Structure 1
Amino acid sequence: MTQQILTAADYHRITSYRRHRLTPHTLDWAHQPMPVKRYPGLPRVPLDRRAKLPAIDYFDLMNRCLGTESNCLEPLDRQVISTAFRLTHDITARAVQAGTPFYYRSVASAGALYPFEIYLAAHHLDGIDPGVYHYDLFDFCLTTLRHGWVPEIPPVDHTVSATFYITGLFFRSAWKYRNRAYRYVLLDAGHQLENLRLALGALDLCCSIHLDFDDEAAATLLGLDPQREVCLACVHLHKGSTVAKKSGEANPLKPLSADILKASRVSGQEVAYGEILSIHRSGNGLSSPFAGTLPAQHVLAKQPSSWIDIDAPDHPGPADYARVLQQRRSRRNFIESSEPLGGFTAFLDLMVRHMGAASRMPTACRSAISLGFLVGAGMPIPPGYYLLDPDAKRLGRVSDGRLTESMAAACLDQMWLKHAALHLLFMTDLAALDRRWGPRGYRYAMIEAGRIGQQAYLAATASGWGACGIGAIYDREAADLLGLAADGALLYLVGVGPVKTR
């Protein structure tokens, strides 16, 4: 019987993995979800794949304060939007597996299921008429869903040239992960959001990121079947940081046709998991803008005994950003190798560049998670468990000793993980999330964990390392290993470090 989910803590507990208590599950390959939404008969706007990608160094991009203002003098047109989509979500390679083509992508995804979609609301763009469009990755085009002026969701004070919407399709992940899939849908939305944020930064464009909006209005705008697909993030694109609001009358927001809503169905036989719908709908109410933040280190039962400053490093370079995206992969062939202090601190510096006070994410996201590290062999600091303080740029030592093997066992006995030099730990206190923001706080924490996790993939790639994200965790076992508070949880883990090369 499906249980009613009212809090983040409820959902996380009900969907937790427990050793020796996992229910066997066989994948229904005959009803595998389709990798892309299709809208037969609707007009399409071709994007320009020949649009030149910006020649920007990844390390220079990370030094920018992204999203605050724009110095771009170029018009916001179809070519710029084409480049933004290529940098956000692109096919990077093709392989054939069991006779079926498989397409590698620039975005990390649990199980390579890619449960997200991207939509564009055009407000003031050259060469793209006002309206709402769906991004087709494989045909590299926009499918027209609405014509004419539409309202900005959420409304803001400054002029919005366009809005990118990231949605989550439940069954794409639930086909494999069942009722636990909401975790991965949110993490993968965070992966996609980080690529979009960096893409707009690489194009020197100003944007604002929103996780609080009217869920029902967003679903109506985009033509989503809310039983199957939901909007998770909105990114407004602004021509400048302080451009006055332009006048313009938006069309009344009417529901789209049943044929358009039908596109949210991605399999001929879908299973709807009540726990997923329940936790998402429980979080549909907007959180208070005055709800504040969570205190630092709220997730730990034991506080760090000492601190290590992260000195400003000399980053290796150059690393062409477009090439970093093309080369990003999930890699598990970790090897134990001695790394110099410079390489270690350079990686940590990349991780904190856009966290905490330096983040342009909504305020709630900045404290919804705590980031820690398990340090294994080969690193220039002793093996142990450390907490990262992004604002002070320092590591707090929680405990000594090599815990990477024990953590690999807690990650469903994926023992290849014990060879990773670092385990990045994305942690939170679920009860604290519920008290501060209600069930919507779970979205903030999981999306932010995914966002920073994608950054870890890119930072590792640019540094010549490998990375692999892990969401399959014996939840309480991992929390106990880390000494988390009673309601503490390890939401996500990314293993990074040197990998075997050919």
Structure 2
Amino acid sequence: MTIGKEFLEKTKFQNLMRSDQSLGYPYPPLELEYADTDVLIDLPDLESVSTANITVTDAIEKRISVRDYSTEPISMEELSYLLWCTQGVKKVIRDAATFRTVPSAGARHALETYILANNVKGLESGLYRFLPIEHKLLQVNTDAGISDRIAKACLGQDFVKKNTVTFIWTAVAYRMTYRYGERGYRYLHLDAGHVCQNLYLSAESIGCGVCAIAAFLDDELNDLLGADGEEEFAIYVATVGKV
């Protein structure tokens, strides 16, 4: 049996053991923790962004994968809007769950969003993590060359660094497997698809194009993000730029 077929077989409902949630274990944190000394950056209110009057039908019809971008930057307001559209928190249910702008199995929302800011007006170039509950950015790495290293980890695809911003999503596995056990690994990938489609469609309303990327060197990208590759691991990448 191949690895893929074995994965599907062993994650069937009839092969699952009881989940930690069913055993009464406490809920895992709703987002990754950070230190008081970390640099946080406020994101603009959503009311401040100017979007085109475009229907959902128009956005779907216009949606294509775009790899060539203009040199025009996006604004902090536009970045704030894209982050909200892809992981924005609408409601927090105690310490148990969040309701967001995208669907997630059991409202577990196990994804974390990192951005590689290459050409965002008013934001230093570098790597950041989005804090969806606070609607802020956390500075991760602004060293020179971080864009080159991330592009290299994405198999040398230059448009990862020659754009306005690259979204990188990681999965925090236990946030999902806590409820669904090993089957939760299936749902992590489904959730990544939901998030990226929201990015594609929302980008249309601010004159941007998107290209989803699943081709990357997992270990190298995880190292650059500070993810351990087991409890948290890169799952999807998408570039954004003005067209």
TM-score tier, shorter chain, comes to 0.7 to 0.9
1:161-310 maps to which residues of 2 (within 5 A)? 274-285=2-13, 288=19, 290=21, 293-298=27-32, 305-310=38-43
Matched, 1:347 2:82: yes
Structure 2: state its 5+ residue gaps. Answer: 91-97
Give 2:38's aligned amino acid: S
Mapped to 2, the partners of 1:319 and 1:309 lie a distance apart of 28
Q: State the SS of the aligned residue for 1:370.
A: strand
Offset of residue 381 of structure 1: 0.9
1:383 alignment partner in structure 2: 125
Paired with 1:282 and 1:436, the residues of 2 have a C-alpha distance of 16
After superposition, what is the alpha-carbon deviation per residue over 1:120-173, rounded to whole angstroms, capped at 9, x for unaligned?
Answer: xxxxxxxxxxxxxxxxxxxxxxxxxxxxxxxxxxxxxxxxxxxxxxxxxxxxxx
Q: Please tell me whether the aligned partners of residues 29 and 175 of structure 2 are also in contact (alpha carbons under 8 angstroms).
A: no
Asked if 1:393 is matched to 2:135, the reply is yes
Aligned to 2:239: 495
Change (3 A) 1:389 1:357: farther
* 1:32-181 superposed matches below 5 A: none
Deviation at 1:480, TM superposition (A): 0.7
CA distance in 2 between counterparts of 1:481 and 1:398 reads 10
Aligned to 1:368: 110
Q: Secondary structure at the match of 2:233?
A: strand
Per the alignment, in what secondary structure is the counterpart of residue 419 of structure 1?
coil
Paired AA for residue 462 in structure 1 = S
Larger Rg: 1
CA deviation after TM superposition for structure 1 residue 306, in Å: 2.0
The Cα of 1:461 is off from its aligned counterpart by 1.5
In 2, the alpha carbon distance for the partners of 1:321 and 1:472 equals 29
SS in 2 for 1:476: helix
Measured in 2, the distance between the counterparts of 1:398 and 1:417 equals 18
The CA distance in 2 between the partners of 1:281 and 1:466, in whole Å, is 38
Q: Which amino acid aligns with 1:490?
A: A
Q: Structure 2: how far apart are the matches of 1:276 and 1:303?
A: 42
- The alignment covers a number of residue pairs equal to 226
Distance 1:497 1:405 in 2: 17
Q: Does 1:411 align with 2:154?
A: yes
- Structure 1 unpaired stretches of 5+: 3-273
Correspondence for 2:182: 439
The farther-off stretch of 465-474 and 380-389 is 380-389
Q: Does the CA contact (< 8 Å) of 1:279 and 1:439 recur in 2?
A: no
| Conserved 8 A contact 1:293-1:363 | no
TM-score, normalising length: structure 2: 0.80
CA 1:364–1:437: 2 relative to 1, 3 Å? same
The 1-side partners of 2:183 and 2:27 are apart by 14
Q: Deviations over 1:44-64 (max 9, x none)?
A: xxxxxxxxxxxxxxxxxxxxx
Checking the alignment, whether the CA contact within 8 Å between 1:310 and 1:348 is kept in structure 2 is no
Decide whether aligned partners of structure 1 residues 320 and 361 sit closer, same or farther in structure 2, where only a CA change above 3 A counts.
closer
Q: Secondary structure at the match of 2:109?
A: helix
State the partner residue of 2:95: none
Q: Which has the higher contact order (CA 8 A, sep 6+)?
A: 2
CA contact 1:310–1:394 (8 Å) conserved in 2 = yes
Q: Does residue 1:474 correspond to 2:217, yes or no?
A: yes
Deviation at residue 474 of structure 1 after TM alignment: 0.6
Distance 1:331 1:349 in 2: 21
1:275-323: per-residue Cα shift (whole Å, max 9, x none)?
A: 112111211126749357532444x898981222223223323112211
The change in CA–CA distance for 1:303 and 1:465 in structure 2 (over 3 A counts) is farther
Cα deviation per residue 1:401-455 (whole Å; 9 max; x = unaligned)? Answer: 3523221111111123221211111102446655663221112211111100000
Cα distance, 1:478 vs structure 2 = 0.6
Q: For 2:56 and 2:37, locate their aligned partners in 1 and report how far apart those are by CA, in whole Å.
A: 36
CA deviation profile, 1:208-233 (whole Å, cap 9, x unmatched): xxxxxxxxxxxxxxxxxxxxxxxxxx
Question: Cα distance 1:431–1:393, how it changes in 2: closer, same or farther (>3 A)?
Answer: closer
Q: Distance in 1 between matches of 2:234 and 2:36?
A: 17
Identity rate of aligned residues, in percent?
Answer: 23
Looking at structure 1, the residues matched to 71 and 27 of structure 2 have their Cα atoms a distance apart, in angstroms, of 38
Matching residue of 2:44: 311
Is 2:192 the counterpart of 1:485? Answer: no
CA root-mean-square deviation: 2.9
Q: Which amino acid aligns with 2:76?
A: L
Is contact 1:365-1:445 (8 Å) kept?
A: no
Distance 1:473 1:467, change over 3 A: same
- With over 3 angstroms needed to count, the CA separation of the structure-2 counterparts of 1:303 and 1:461, relative to structure 1, is farther
Paired letter, 2:210: A
SS in structure 1 at match of 2:149: helix
Query: How many angstroms does 1:332 deviate by?
Result: 0.2
Query: Whole-Å Cα distance in 1 between the matches of residues 27 and 238 of structure 2?
Result: 25
